[in-house]
Structure 1
C-alpha cells in the first residue's frame, strides 16, 4: 500500500500562517518528497485573518510605509531554507497598475484609487494591506504545487485531542473533526476573558448606566454607547489610542482641514464625545520619521555576535540591564551622534573621527562618556538621553490643568517638528539603530540563557520602549491630536495616570500622580490590547490546550517569587511544552502569545527580519517531523 499522506492543520490562517506556508513550499524539495494534506482553520479571510481583515474602518492605516512592508523571505534573511524574492506592498501595488501582477481579484474602486495615489512613503490603509496579505496567501498555496492539497475551513477550532498513534483530532465549532499529524497554533493576537478587576469595572459601569471598554482590539469594540458630547476617560496613548481617535472622530463624520501654518483644524460633525486621555508616560508614541539620513546607519557595532558570544562564554546566565542594555544603548548613541556630526557639523564641536575614537573606548554608563557628549554637543537639547526619551515628563510637577495641557501639547508639537523636519535626521539614525538591535536580539541571544528578570525586562520594558520610539503612528496622526485638542475634544491628564470606580458618584474618576487635575465621567475606555493570558484566553483552542494540561503559561522564578508571563510555553523549536517541560509531539505554536521572541508577521524588506527567520525554522521543523514519521514511497523502495 502507498504511504499515508501526512496531514498538517493550522489553527489560525492570518499572515503568520501564510508566511509558514510560503516557507513550507520553499523548503519541501529538500526535506520531504511527497504529497501533503494541509488544513487551514480560519473564520475570517485566510491571509489577512482577524486583525488585518478587509471589514474594518477604511480610515485605519498601517503604521508602516508601503516601502517598509513585505511578506517575502528575501536574500537578507539568514536561514537554512532558500530565499524567495517577491514584491513588497509598494511593488505589488505598482505591479497591479502596470499589469505585471495579474493574479489579483477585482478591487473595489476606492482601493484602485488608493493604488494610483500610493507611493513608497505612503501609509496604506489596512484594507489595502488585507488584499496584499490575501494575495500572498494565494501565492504561497500555489507554490506548494499540485501534490499538496490546501483546504481552508472558514470555521473556529475549539480543541485538540490525541488520537490513535501520533495523530491528533482537531475539533471545529461546526462539528467537523480533522485528523492531523501536526497541529500548528498560529493565532495572532487573541482576546482574554476579563480578569477580576476588569470584570469589576464592567459590572460597575453596567450597574450605574455607564460605559466600560476593557482592553481589546480597538476596531472590534462597539462604541455606539458613547454619546455626542459625553466625557470619556481613556487610559493608554499608544497605537490603540490612535485607532480610537479615528473611529470616534473621522469615523463619526468629522474631518481635518489644513491651516496656512502647516497645522490642522478639526471640523466637527456634532457626534463627537470629549476625551480625557492619559497613560503611564502621559504622551503618545513618537511619530514616524520623514527625514532622510545624511550618512547610512550600519549594522550594530557593539551589540554583535562576537560580543554576545563572549558574554555567553563568561556567564552562565545573562542579565539584560547590566550586560545587554549598555551595548544596545551604545549602538543607539553611536548612530545618533554619527549622524549629528556628519550631517550637522555646525551643531557640534570637534571632528567625528576624534569623537568616535573616544566614544569607542567608553562604557555607555561611564561619566567620561557623559563628559565627552557634554563637551562635544553644546546644545543640551541635542544630547541623547535615553532615560528622558523613555519618560519625557518624569519629575515634572504640574500646578494645574492648563499647565498639563501646555506641557503635553508642547511635547507633541516638538516631536512632530523633530521627526518631520528635514534638519533632524539624527532621530532617524536612532530609529534605525534600535530597529537593527530589535531584529538581532532574538537571533543572537538564546532566551534560555537569560535570567528570569531579564526575560521579564525584554518582553516588558524593552518591547514597550522600542514600540514607543520606533512603532508609532504616521506624523499626521499627532497633528490630528493637536487639532482635536484645540477644538476642545481631546484633553490630557498627564503622566502617572490613575483611574478608580467611585461608588459615591456612580462614575469613573481619573487623575495623574503628577498633577492635581481630577475628572469624572460615566465612560471609561482602556485603549490597549489585552495582556497575554493562555489561562484566561477567550480563544477556545488555546483555552482547551491549557485546560487539557497539554500546554502551560510560562513561569519565571524571580527574587520576588514565581511570575507568570501569561504566554504559552514553547521550546526553542516552537514545540508546545507541557507543565513539566515535556515537548508535545506534533504540536507547535508561534506568535505574540507564545514565550518565543514574539516577532510580527511581516516586516521591512532587506532587514534579516525575525519573523521570516522564525517561519523558516518552523517550516523546516514541521517537514522533518513528517519526514521522520511518513517515509515516502521512494524512500520505502530504497531499502
Structure 2
C-alpha cells in the first residue's frame, strides 16, 4: 500500500455506516480531498446489515410509510456539509421501474410486484427496504472513487499498535490496520440478565420453552407446538413481528369481512398467545389522517432560546422539571392548533384568542386547564399526556373478561382516532413529538443534564416517544383484534409479572390490576435485549471493554452509580476509554452509544438528527484524516486458506 494514505475502518456496514460514507464523499472537497483507504467490515450485505437484511420473513414490514423514508441529507438538514439531493424510497421505486435507476439486481417476482404496488402511503416490506439501503451504500461507495473495500466477515477483536493505530482482527483470519476506527454496530445481543437466565434454566429443567430478549426474526420458535399456550411479555414492535411469524408465518391468513373488518383463518399450526406489558396495550398505530388546519410552523416553546434561558438559571437541568413542561406545551400547541383551526365545529373559541392566552401559561397550571376547557367543550378531546402514557393507571379489573374487553376496546378506540380522517389532531401531536425528539440532541447539552435526566432521556422519554410515534401500521392492530376474536391472542393487562411454579413446571403470569393468573410451559420475552457493553455478545464490544479502549456510560445518581449499558462517547462521537480519556481516532455511532441521535433513515425535509450527526462525524473523520495524512496507511494481512470474502465493492447477487 502507498504511504500517507489514511485508513478508515468501519466495523458494521448497515445504513448508519452508509449514511456516514455518503457524508464523507460530500464533504471531501471542503475538508480533505486527499486519498483515503476505507474498509467496511460487515458479515451481512453492506447497506442493509443485520436488522434490515433481505433474508428475513417476507411478511415483516417497516413501521414507516414509504413517503417517510429517505437516506439523503436534503436542504432541510442543519449541517456544515452540502446537501445532496437523492431519491427517497418512493422516488427510488419509480426510478427502478422506469429504468432511470439501473444499479439494482434482478428482483424476484414478489419484489417486482411490491415495486409496482408501492405508493407513498404503503408500509413497505423489510425485504424491499433492504434493496434501497444496499443501493444507497453502493452509490455512496462509488462516490468515494473505489476507495471502499468491503469485508464480508465479523470483527472479533481490536488491539492498539505501538504507532497509535489499531489492529482489527476478523473472523476469516485477516487483520486490518486502522488509522481511524469507527464502530457502527447497530443493535447487538447481550448475555441474558439474571431474570432471563433463571427463566431459561427453569424451562430446561422442566422441558419447557423460553425465548430471551432478542431480535425477533433471529429466534428459533420451532419448539413451540401448535395450540400451545405461550405467555408473552412485551407488546411493542417485537410483539408485532412475533405475531407475523407465529400466525401468518405458520400458514394462517386474514380475510376481509362484509362489514370491512378482518377475520383470521387459522392453519391449525398456531399457538395461543397470552400477552401483556407494562402498559398492557400495543403501541399506538400510525396515522392515516391529514392535517386540515393551519400548517405546523417551527417549534414555539421547546427552542434553543428557551433551553439557553434554563441553562443560565440552573447549573444542571432536570428533564421532568425543566424540559418536559416545554415538551408538553409544544405538544399541546400543535394539538390544539389543529383542533381549533381544522375542526372549528368542535371549538368554542377561535384559535388566535386561544393561542394568545396559551403562550403565557405553564402546561401544568390550572389556568391552562381552564383555557382548554373553555375552548374545547368535549373533555374527551382534551390532551392528557399522562393518561396517554399509562392508559390504565388507577383502574382495577374485576376478572379476566374485563381485561379482554378493556384492551380490545382500547385498540378499537385507537384505530378510530388514528386510522380515520376524523381526528387529524392526532397527526399534529405525532408531528410535535417527532420534531421535539429530533431537537433534543441539538439544543440540550448532555453534560448539563443531571444523571437522573440522562437516564430519563434514554429510558422513559425514548419509550414514550416510541409508544406514541413509532407504532405499527393500522392494519397490524386490526390483525391483533382478528387474532383475539379467533381465540389465538388473549390479553393479560398492564404491569404483568411472570414467575415460575416448580411443582407444575409452568410459567405463571399475573397482573396487579386483576386477579387473573395464566400458566403456560412457554414464555417469550418480546423485546430487544437491553444495551450492555459489559454483557455484550458482540466480540468487538467485548474487546473494547476488555482492553479499556471503551467503557459503559456510568451515571452518579442519588441512589448510587447507574450504568446505561451504552458505549460512552463524547459529543463528537469519540470513544471514551476506561481511564476517562477520549480516543483521538476511535469513534462510535448508533443506538448502542450514549449519543443523542436515533435511527439511520428518516423523513425527508425534517432536519433529521441522524443526518446531522452523520455530517458532523464525517467532517470529524476527514479532519482527523487530514492531520494523519503524513503517517503510514493501514495494511491488510494475507488471506489465509478458506477465508471468507474480501471484496472491492460489487453488485450484490441473490
TM beyond 0.5:
yes
Q: Which residue of 2 aligns with 1:637?
A: none
Higher RCO (CA < 8 A, seq sep 6+): 2
- Residue of structure 1 aligned with 2:165, choices 164, 167, 181: 167
1:316 shift after superposition:
2.0
Q: What is the rounded CA distance, in whole Å, between the counterparts of 1:33 and 1:332 in structure 2?
A: 44
Q: What is the rounded CA distance, in whole Å, between the counterparts of 2:502 and 2:375 in structure 1?
A: 57
Q: What is the rounded CA distance, in whole Å, between the counterparts of 1:356 and 1:160 in structure 2?
A: 57
TM-score, length basis structure 1? 0.97
Q: What is the rounded CA distance, in whole Å, between the counterparts of 1:45 and 1:66 in structure 2?
A: 22
1:615 shift after superposition:
0.6
Hey, which bits of structure 1, 4+ residues long, moved more than 4 A?
A: none
1:460 shift after superposition:
0.6
Q: What is the rounded CA distance, in whole Å, between the counterparts of 2:85 and 2:189 in structure 1?
A: 34
Please give the residue correspondences for 1:315-354 in structure 2 after superposition, counting only pairs within 5 Å: 315-354=314-353
1:495 and 2:494 matched: yes
- SS of the equivalent of 1:509 reads strand
Q: How many residues align?
A: 631
Q: Which residue of 2 aligns with 1:606?
A: 605
Q: What is the rounded CA distance, in whole Å, between the counterparts of 1:350 and 1:193 in structure 2?
A: 56
1:3 shift after superposition:
4.3
1:84 and 2:92 matched: no
1:75 shift after superposition:
0.5
- Residue of structure 2 aligned with 1:274, choices 246, 264, 272: 272
Q: Which residue of 2 aligns with 1:585?
A: 584
- SS of the equivalent of 1:277 reads strand
* Structure 2: stretches of 5+ with no match in the other structure: 633-654
Q: What is the rounded CA distance, in whole Å, between the counterparts of 1:579 and 1:381 in structure 2?
A: 52
- Contact 2:6–2:631 at 8 Å: present in 1 too? no
Q: Give deviations 1:79-113, integer Å, cap 9, x for gaps.
A: 11111110001110011112221121211111111
- SS of the equivalent of 1:43 reads coil
Q: Which residue of 1 aligns with 2:154?
A: 156
- Contact 1:166–1:585 at 8 Å: present in 2 too? no
- Contact 1:33–1:632 at 8 Å: present in 2 too? no
1:2 shift after superposition:
7.0
Q: Which residue of 1 aligns with 2:108?
A: 108
Please give the residue correspondences for 1:217-296 in structure 2 after superposition, counting only pairs within 5 Å: 217-295=215-293, 296=295
* Most deviating of 24-33 and 391-400: 24-33
* Most deviating of 323-332 and 194-203: 194-203
Please give the residue correspondences for 1:174-253 in structure 2 after superposition, counting only pairs within 5 Å: 174-253=172-251
Q: Give deviations 1:252-309, integer Å, cap 9, x for gaps.
A: 0100011122210000000010000000000000000000101222221100111111
Q: Which residue of 2 aligns with 1:377?
A: 376
- SS of the equivalent of 2:301 reads coil
Q: Give deviations 1:126-150, integer Å, cap 9, x for gaps.
A: 000000000000000011125xx21
* Structure 1: stretches of 5+ with no match in the other structure: 634-639
1:75 and 2:86 matched: no
Q: What is the rounded CA distance, in whole Å, between the counterparts of 1:85 and 1:473 in structure 2?
A: 29
Q: Which residue of 1 aligns with 2:526?
A: 527
- SS of the equivalent of 2:122 reads coil
- SS of the equivalent of 1:64 reads coil
- SS of the equivalent of 1:356 reads helix
Q: Which residue of 2 aligns with 1:137?
A: 137
Please give the residue correspondences for 1:346-495 in structure 2 after superposition, counting only pairs within 5 Å: 346-495=345-494
Q: What is the rounded CA distance, in whole Å, between the counterparts of 1:164 and 1:139 in structure 2?
A: 36
Q: Which residue of 2 aligns with 1:118?
A: 118
- Contact 2:507–2:523 at 8 Å: present in 1 too? yes
* Most deviating of 333-342 and 308-317: 308-317
Q: Which residue of 2 aligns with 1:97?
A: 97
TM-score, length basis structure 2? 0.95
Q: What is the rounded CA distance, in whole Å, between the counterparts of 1:539 and 1:577 in structure 2?
A: 18
